[in-house]
Amino acid sequence: MKIFNILIGTAPFKVFMSLLFGTLAGIGYAFLIPVVLNSFTDNTGFETLQQAPKYFLGFEVGNYKFAALFAFSCLIILATRTLSQLTLLHVAIDTASQLRLKYYYIIVKSRLSNLENVGSSRLLASFTSDVKAIVAGSMMLPELLISTVTIFGMMGYLWYVNSEIFTFICGAILFGCVTFMIPILLGINFIVKTRDKVDELLEGVRGNTYGVKELKLCHAKREDYFENSLIKVEKDYRFLNKAVVTIVRCATNYGDMMSFFIIGFMAFVFLNFNSVGQGEILASIMVLLYVTGPISIIMMAIPEINTANVSLKKAESLFDEMPLEDISQDVKPLPTWQTMRFKAISYQYSAKEGNETKNFSIGPLDFEINKGEITLVVGGNGSGKSTLAKLISSHYLADSGQIFLDNHEIDRDWINSLRNEVTAIYTDFYLFERLLGTTKSADKETVEHFLKVLKLDHIVDFENGRFSTLDLSDGQRKRLALLISFLEDKQIYVFDEWAADQDPEFKKIFYYEILANLKHKGKAVVVVSHDERFFDVADHMIVMERGKRISDVKKITEKAS
């Protein structure tokens, strides 16, 4: 059982103690019926055992020795069952927390290209649906153990009472379990398909939420999206969910009635061919009625555990799609440098376009980036500009080629250190609600100065390391991201179409003042741009076309315009 293995991996001793307490609770449950039966029968029948009554809290208690034993057994069951459940529940919560932490670390340590291919919808679905299902399945394990031990204990008592009845009931329960598992095994296929539809549902909701402006403007587009990306997926999910619920509920109800089927067969068929005493009949019926509850719990636990195993398998497959980067996680001081040199750099990647996966590549490329200079990366759409920018910022790792800081080669042991010297603002940047890392210590006066420079001082306030609002226009959000990059004060600045959302006045400020200021401070500045009017700020220009660097600058800039 995969879910059991992951719990053991989290806290083996606690899992062992939970199993031990669960076993004791099951033994205690199995002990109750013999105590009750022996309180009013002897070895020959229904004769009441005569004991002088005792009084407890004003109530007369007959057969007080058995009553005390019964009460003591109940207390033992209460304590051990609660300990078993709570212990494993705590382990399940710890496991869920560790699983979420694993998501956090895998996201930041995996290749960005793999993360982009997986997509936020699948990650969110796994983070919410799968973790929840794994915890729910884990919580059923103590109940499954207690119920199983209880049934085995009661079967042992039946064997003591009458071996023929024991053999008959064991065979009947085995038949019932097999016939119960057949639909459950068929239902696993529906559980897997239902889980897969959750990814599609969340992707549909994501598109509906983030694409609402586009959908509002075109009736045909909206109807097409609703019909094929929302309603169709919703219908499929509803059908699969109903199938799962129907199979599980029918199988569970069948399991609930199993004891009564056995009682009926024993009363109306079995006794016609076997000589059984009344005491043995009473004991058998009580045992069968008593195990109805444990059998029902087992029947309900099995689908939950199957769902948890499916979710665990889904999460593991997602982790397999996001292998960790083969780089050192250490951050070491870089040697002093002036020129960042790329030699024969090439990179291949795949991306989904509709239902198809297409392969792209850039390179091999040779170029340099110098401190105190501005390098523009230009070219037409799809030429590889943004991919090249991500290679420069080390978000993408080159498949071949070399990177040098002066004469010092940046290999896999130094990538993380290089990243620590880069600040980048891409088109899909994210603004955190508070300052992080080294920027936390930024004083209010410095931040307010930059807010004024970026013309945000009348919109955003800064207090206790937080900005008063992030509810800004796209252009204003980029300015706030730029402010944070100033506070970080890194050595390499990468801007991907940063000025695209700015008004003409602020575009001039960006190209002629902000970039000039960074250049003056000795920063290496890389700007991906379409703005031909400002190409004159460049000290160097990298012109891209179909993943290659070309030499005819005038031709490609005309084409880009």
> 334 lies in a domain?
no
**Who's near 355: CB < 8 A, 6+ residues apart?**
none
Q: Are residues 383 and 433 in the same domain?
A: yes
Q: Are residues 286 and 383 in the same domain?
A: no
> 330 lies in a domain?
no
Given a cut of 90, whether residue 374 has pLDDT beyond it is yes
Give per-residue pLDDT as tens, 256-279: 788 788 888 887 887 777 777 777
Q: What is the mean pLDDT of residues 208-234?
A: 79
Strand partners, 543: 378
Q: Residue 24 — left, alpha, or beta (φ > 0 → left; ψ -120 to 50 → alpha)?
A: alpha
Q: Are residues 429 and 389 in the same domain?
A: yes
pLDDT at 347: 92
Q: What is the mean pLDDT of residues 434-453?
A: 80
Domain boundary among 256, 290, 320: 320
Judge contact between 274 and 206, C-beta under 8 A. no
Give per-residue pLDDT as tens, 110-122: 888 888 888 887 8
> 332 lies in a domain?
no
Q: Are residues 264 and 385 in the same domain?
A: no
Domain boundary among 264, 292, 320: 320
Task: Give the pair of three-digit tokens for residue 150.
Answer: 């209880």
Q: What is d(CA 257, CA 289) in angstroms, rounded to the nearest whole number?
A: 10
Give per-residue pLDDT as tens, 466-479: 888 888 888 889 99
Q: Are residues 103 and 232 in the same domain?
A: yes
- What percentage of residues in the chain have a pLDDT greater than 90? 16
Domain boundary among 293, 320, 347: 320
Burial of residue 330 (CB within 10 Å: 0-12, 13-18, 19+) is exposed
Strand partners, 339: 370
Give per-residue pLDDT as tens, 291-346: 888 888 888 888 888 888 888 888 888 888 888 888 888 888 889 999 999 999 99
Who wins on pLDDT, 56 or 418? 418
Task: Give the pair of three-digit tokens for residue 111.
Answer: 């290749």
Domain count, the chain: 2
> 392 lies in a domain?
yes
Q: What is d(CA 340, CA 490) in angstroms, rounded to the nearest whole number?
A: 14
Residue 535: give its domain's CATH number: 3.40.50.300
Given a cut of 50, whether residue 556 has pLDDT beyond it is no
- What percentage of residues in the chain have a pLDDT greater than 70? 91
Q: Are residues 284 and 400 in the same domain?
A: no
Q: Are residues 230 and 351 in the same domain?
A: no
Distances (CA, A) of 120 to 114, 314, 412, 554: 11, 15, 27, 40
Q: What is d(CA 366, CA 525) in angstroms, rounded to the nearest whole number?
A: 17
Give per-residue pLDDT as tens, 68-104: 888 888 899 899 988 988 888 888 888 888 888 888 8
Q: Are residues 36 and 98 in the same domain?
A: yes
pLDDT at 49: 46
> 361 lies in a domain?
yes
Q: What is d(CA 522, CA 337) in angstroms, rounded to the nearest whole number?
A: 11
Residue 283: give its domain's CATH number: 1.20.1560.10
Highest mean pLDDT of the ranges 63-67, 200-204, 255-259, 422-426: 422-426
pLDDT at 382: 81
Residue in the block written with tokens 């061919």: 273
Q: Are residues 202 and 307 in the same domain?
A: yes
Give per-residue pLDDT as tens, 10-61: 888 998 898 888 888 888 888 887 887 776 655 434 344 455 666 666 666 6
Q: Are residues 312 and 345 in the same domain?
A: no
Judge contact between 398 and 347, C-beta under 8 A. yes
Judge contact between 113 and 349, C-beta under 8 A. yes
Judge contact between 243 and 188, C-beta under 8 A. no
> 47 lies in a domain?
yes
The helix (H) or strand (E) run that includes residue 284 is helix 278-290
Mean of per-residue pLDDT scores for the chain: 83
> 325 lies in a domain?
no
Q: Are residues 312 and 360 in the same domain?
A: no
pTM: 0.73
Rounded to the nearest angstrom, the gap between the alpha carbon of residue 281 and the centroid of all alpha carbons in its chain is 53
Give per-residue pLDDT as tens, 506-547: 889 999 999 999 999 999 999 999 888 888 899 989 998 888
Q: Are residues 148 and 34 in the same domain?
A: yes
pLDDT band of 370, cuts 50, 70, 90? very high
Domain range enclosing 167: 2-320
Q: What is the mean pLDDT of residues 105-130?
A: 83
Given a cut of 80, whether residue 553 has pLDDT beyond it is no
Task: Give the pair of three-digit tokens for residue 336.
Answer: 């002093």
Task: Give the pair of three-digit tokens for residue 263.
Answer: 């009682």
From 136, 149, 34, select the one nearest 81 (Cα to Cα): 149
Judge contact between 423 and 488, C-beta under 8 A. yes
For strand 540-545 and strand 54-56, is the pairing parallel, antiparallel, or unpaired? unpaired
> 326 lies in a domain?
no
